[in-house]
Copies of this chain bind each other. A is one copy, B any other.
């Protein structure tokens, strides 16, 4: 695709609030997409943030999406690299990618080996792959796409255009909204981990509740979202869960949250919206996380976390506190030694003072 043709297509998209600023002088053929430091001639790339800005001097890319930065624009032009500027270069890149690459999608239709219960309801243009199993009273919306070997237990509802990858298992009564993506091996709506101790062992608390995924939710590979004993486990619209995330029974995740890989949320934890949890973060049961809270990787959250907090460590603290404390942590041996030296000096000083006092009182005796 010619650079000019790409520009033309982008400008036709209504969604652009910022008019695009672009270099009118070069019009390379664009053959591929690449990271700025790996780009070859013919590639389109992007630069975001200072870390990669210097790459403009070395990259072999033929075109690049830049932030709104006159210096970078000039440098690109000098090196005859075609450029487009955007206030949000990575967001524009995400839109551009779609002009070059469409993810694999099976053709619509129902594979003859798919086993579909007679009570299931299928929307129009659904795609159901080989060896899928769809059980009683399942309802699939229009254009739902199931890759091969997806199992859907009874009474599940899946909204239009949602996509389920091979190996996903959706348990009974789960409600999945529209435009969701369930990745390979993810398990949604399985029994929450509910056991009550008794003298003879752990007694199962049956999990009669339901898991609900609102629209545009993504659940990563081999992630798990459990259903509760009563009520709902709910994932808000537009929230994205990475691989191997665990969401326990009765958790309530508000819209537009990001849970990075291997995050675990224990039973009944809640998040506000636009929360971002770093990889391997753990959330204790009943934790209440406010809107727009961010947690660094491996944080351990519990209690109530005020909206907008940036938390780190385990147990988690506001990040400034954590960074100061963790910077000192390695100096603990020095601190301990300093303490001991102080105690020793203190003992010595005390002896000196006692000597002075003694000698002083002797003086006084003399003076009488």
Which residues of chain A have a CB within 8 Å of any CB of chain B? 32-35, 38, 45, 88, 90-91, 93-95, 97-98, 100-104, 113, 115, 129-131, 133, 147-149, 151, 153-155, 165-167, 169, 171-172, 183-185, 187, 190-191, 193-198, 201-208, 216, 218, 220-222, 224, 226, 229-231, 237-238, 240, 242-244, 246, 248, 250, 255-256, 258, 260-262, 264, 266, 279-280, 282, 284, 297-298, 300, 313-315, 317, 321-322, 324-326, 328-333, 335-336, 338-339, 342-343, 345-346, 349-350, 352-353, 356-357, 359-360, 363-364, 366-367
Contact = CB atoms under 8 A, between A and B. Distances in A.
20 contacts: A32-B230, A35-B250, A88-B196, A102-B206, A104-B172, A131-B149, A133-B149, A147-B151, A147-B153, A185-B224, A190-B221, A202-B258, A224-B244, A261-B264, A266-B297, A280-B282, A328-B332, A328-B333, A345-B350, A360-B360
Contacts of A324: 332-333
A220 to B, nearest CB: 7
A208 B97 contact: yes
Copies in the complex: 3
Contacts of A339: 335, 338-339, 342
B147 A195 contact: no
Given A202-B240, A243-B246, 17 more contacts: A33-B229, A45-B230, A90-B196, A91-B198, A91-B203, A93-B205, A101-B208, A131-B133, A153-B166, A167-B185, A193-B243, A222-B244, A244-B244, A266-B279, A280-B280, A359-B360, A363-B363
B350 A353 contact: no
A195 B345 contact: no
A173 to B, nearest CB: 8
A300 B300 contact: no
Contact of A345 (B155, B193, B317, B346): B346
A215 to B, nearest CB: 10
A196 B166 contact: no
Nearest to A328: B332
Contact of A205 (B97, B201, B352): B97
